[in-house]
Structure 1
């Protein structure tokens, strides 16, 4: 009976380990080199698009698509280097993509909506909008979702399909916007005098625009008295500053002018039988 040769087994294991180590090392080098080339291509594409003064929204969108595509090609190439059939892998990947797409129809709808957002351009990065029930500054329009930073600095991610299927309000599409406020007066107050005083004082606020002129009119009546609609105009960036300042001015001016404080009251009639 032939004796087992441990030295040959050791040699074989060393050879296999060396080959496997060489393969892994080569794959690592290919990965690092591939990532470097991908970053280089992305920088070149970005520089070319920036030179053409392309919109930042479209710029980020193209950057995302190029990054995903090149990284997939890099992974397929490395797997091919290890001897895997890349054609079979590509077919498997495509089949898996179809299956996942069928299961995640919402993901595909978000992708399609993202394409339409880029083409139709109802807003761009940096605009202040209300979309999908969220109001804030658009930070990114991605392939599947967009990011909005709200006024209280909460980063909110919304699916593109939800944005496109709902009403979109773009406050940055115009240079200025109107601040809608109400002012409750007492029934004992002369509304004309109060309206004239508010027009003068609010128009003097530095951030309030003179054109269009401020609107102060009677909006409605309630049990307390007349309710005024106070509507100054301001630049988009000054909206909240004007909002709070006008509220402060209304409270201060009416009190200093001696107008009675509006108080809800009820008359009760008691009948004795």
Structure 2
């Protein structure tokens, strides 16, 4: 293919003229883009500090800051393409149509977004709480726009969709600050029932992690076919619950063995 030098020169001249005419818009658009990104980061940081100084809930602070961040980014993008000379009215119409199509295809995501809003507003739990929901028992690390991030006792990270979380049952183990351990010890009918009860109650009283108020309880809860079943119920602070549960099991078994009272296998009565 033979190129005509004169024709090539015309194309180069036309391209150069277009570039020169368009370069101010291009330069101004990118200036707006870079300044805008820096301004958004600065505004987001300032808003976070203001909300933190007003002692707003950390979860609410992060949630609102994330929404503001994305809103400002969308506004900056529209301003950027406007400075490039692209007609924004038609673009906004296209963006609206795309938003409708995306919204219809992402109904689950919108449900999760709405669920996140409900969690933030009604606060069934907050960051740091231990909850049971959707078949998971874990501590809440972060409430994001679409999911809640949690960590289990064996250090596994779990992401639960906010839609399912807000519409399901939630057990919050941290909200009240105190928690009761419900244990059962079964002893034989040949045992001294009063003595066994005194031993079990003494174990609870001697444990410094067991709260005095509400007072710990020990009582006969069931007379099964082969044993007398005692309910052992110590109260503890949330932070001490795990150790109180395991120490009560161990110490009660050891105390009953020392007193010569045989512990029977406990079976749940149906």
| TM bracket (short chain) | 0.7 to 0.9
Structure 1 equivalent of residue 76 of structure 2: 74
**Bigger shift: 11-20 or 165-174?**
11-20
The offset of 1:140, in angstroms, is 2.0
Root-mean-square deviation over aligned CA pairs:
2.6
Structure 1 equivalent of residue 214 of structure 2: 212
For residue 156 of structure 1, the aligned residue among 152, 155, 158 is 158
Gaps of 5+ in 2: none
Structure 2 equivalent of residue 267 of structure 1: none
The offset of 1:19, in angstroms, is 8.0
CA distance in 1, matches of 2:19, 2:226: 89
Question: For each residue in 1:33-62, what CA deviation from the matched residue of structure 2 results, as whole angstroms up to 9, or x when unmatched?
Answer: 222111100111111111211111211111
The offset of 1:208, in angstroms, is 0.5
Question: For each residue in 1:171-207, what CA deviation from the matched residue of structure 2 results, as whole angstroms up to 9, or x when unmatched?
Answer: 2221211011111222322222111101002211111
For residue 192 of structure 1, the aligned residue among 181, 191, 194 is 194
What secondary structure does 1:173 align onto?
coil
Contact 1:224 1:263 in 2 (8 A): no
Contact 2:182 2:234 in 1 (8 A): yes
CA distance in 1, matches of 2:21, 2:254: 84
Structure 1 equivalent of residue 180 of structure 2: 178
**TM-score of the pair, normalised by structure 2:** 0.86
Structure 1 equivalent of residue 239 of structure 2: 237
Structure 2 equivalent of residue 225 of structure 1: 227
Contact 2:179 2:236 in 1 (8 A): yes
What secondary structure does 2:65 align onto?
helix
**TM-score of the pair, normalised by structure 1:** 0.85
Gaps of 5+ in 1: 265-273
How do residues 124-143 of structure 1 correspond to structure 2 at under 5 angstroms? 124-143=126-145
